[in-house]
Amino acid sequence: MITHAANEKRARRLAEALTPVIQQHLGSRVMVEADRRTIEAAQKVAEAVNQLDQTKFAGGREVAARRALERAARSLRTQLNNREKNRGRK
C-alpha cells in the first residue's frame, strides 16, 4: 500500500513536470486571441479598400470611404503593435 507521503511526493513531481507545459499552453492561447483580433482588423482594412474602390468607380462619398480606410488601417497598426508588445512579455 502506498503511503500518504509517497502520494504527495508523486503529486509534487507530476506538478513540477506539468507546470511548463501548462504555462506554454496558456501563453499560446493568449496569442490565438491576438491573432484573431489581428485578422479581424485586417479584414476591416480590406473591406474599407473595397468600399473606396466602389466609390471611385460608381461615384459616391469618396472622402468618407477614404477616412474609413484610414481608421481601419490605424486600428490594424495598433493591433499589430499590441501583438508585438504581448510577445515581448513572454
Q: Tens digits of per-residue pLDDT, 49-63?
A: 999 999 988 888 899
Task: Output the pTM of the full model.
Answer: 0.57
Cα gap 9→54, rounded to integer Å: 68
Domain boundaries, the chain: 4-88
Give the per-residue pLDDT at 1: 63
Q: Using DSSP, how many helices (H) and how many strands (E) does the chain show?
A: 2, 0
Give the per-residue pLDDT at 89: 60
Give the per-residue pLDDT at 66: 93
Give the per-residue pLDDT at 55: 92
Q: Report residues of the chain scoring pLDDT below 50.
A: none
Give the per-residue pLDDT at 68: 95
Cα gap 9→86, rounded to integer Å: 36
Is residue 4 within 8 Å of residue 46, measured between CB atoms?
no
Q: Where are the beta strands (DSSP E) in the chain?
A: none
